[in-house]
């Protein structure tokens, strides 16, 4: 009853239970944070816009992205993954989401940023539907906790339009 093995077992079980409880509480405490992030994106230039030999439209944009995501950070936040996606509808596809830029924010100090960039991933349509196409730019973020549940949300910015002609 009071052997070494018995005591070691009891201690270990207790320690693991407490640790699991602390992890669960840390993850739960994220629910108490109500973030209010803000963002704005400008399309500064259409660098080029053409039809590939296989028939798909491709466009290259220069973007100015600024955002304030400081309110997403809590004590249980390891990092925030943020990306900007172009979202639009075509006759063939009910939803097209194309990530144009992404970044990893490791700390609250870096969560208020602006960047001037051309699209990091290729903006290619499935087909030839991009001329004059109206699209949304959506800033998505995925909060990775130190432990527990992951959170995600987005800010939709609408009213962007691609040129009517290739260039």
70 CA to centre of own chain:
14
Return the number of the residue (71 or 90) whose C-beta is nearest other proteins. 90
CB of residue 38 vs other proteins: minimum separation in angstroms?
A: 19
CB of residue 83 vs other proteins: minimum separation in angstroms?
A: 6
Sheet of 151-161, strand order? 77-88, 134-145, 151-161
Return the number of the residue (153 or 167) whose C-beta is nearest other proteins. 153
Residues 56, 66: Cα–Cα separation, whole Å: 30
Residues 35, 145: Cα–Cα separation, whole Å: 15
**CB 59, CB 52: distance < 8 Å:** no
Q: Which residues bind other proteins (CB under 8 A)?
A: 1, 5-6, 23, 27, 78-79, 81, 83, 85, 90-99, 102, 104, 106, 121, 126, 140, 142, 144-150, 152
Return the number of the residue (115 or 126) whose C-beta is nearest other proteins. 126
CB of residue 156 vs other proteins: minimum separation in angstroms?
A: 13
CB of residue 22 vs other proteins: minimum separation in angstroms?
A: 12
Place of tokens 């955002």: 67
CB of residue 100 vs other proteins: minimum separation in angstroms?
A: 9
Return the number of the residue (8 or 164) whose C-beta is nearest other proteins. 8
**CB 82, CB 66: distance < 8 Å:** no
Torsion sign, CA atoms 36, 42, 47, 53:
positive
Angle at 61 between CA 60 and CA 62, to 5 degrees: 135
Return the number of the residue (153 or 164) whose C-beta is nearest other proteins. 153
């Amino acid at each position: 009853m009071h052997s070494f093995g018995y005591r070691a077992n009891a201690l270990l079980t207790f320690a693991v239970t407490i640790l699991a409880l602390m992890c669960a509480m840390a993850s739960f405490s994220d629910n108490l944070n109500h973030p209010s992030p803000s963002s704005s994106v400008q399309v500064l230039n259409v660098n080029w816009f053409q039809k590939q030999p296989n028939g798909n439209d491709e466009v290259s944009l220069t973007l100015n992205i600024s955002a304030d995501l400081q309110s997403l950070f809590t004590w249980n936040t390891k990092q925030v993954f943020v990306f900007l996606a172009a979202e639009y509808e075509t006759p063939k596809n009910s939803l097209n989401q194309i990530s144009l830029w992404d970044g990893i924010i490791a700390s609250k100090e870096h969560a208020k940023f602006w960047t001037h960039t051309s699209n990091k991933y290729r903006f290619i349509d499935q087909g030839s539907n991009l001329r004059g196409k109206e699209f949304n730019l959506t800033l998505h973020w995925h909060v990775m906790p130190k432990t527990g549940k992951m959170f995600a949300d987005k800010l939709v910015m609408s009213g962007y339009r691609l040129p009517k002609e290739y260039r």
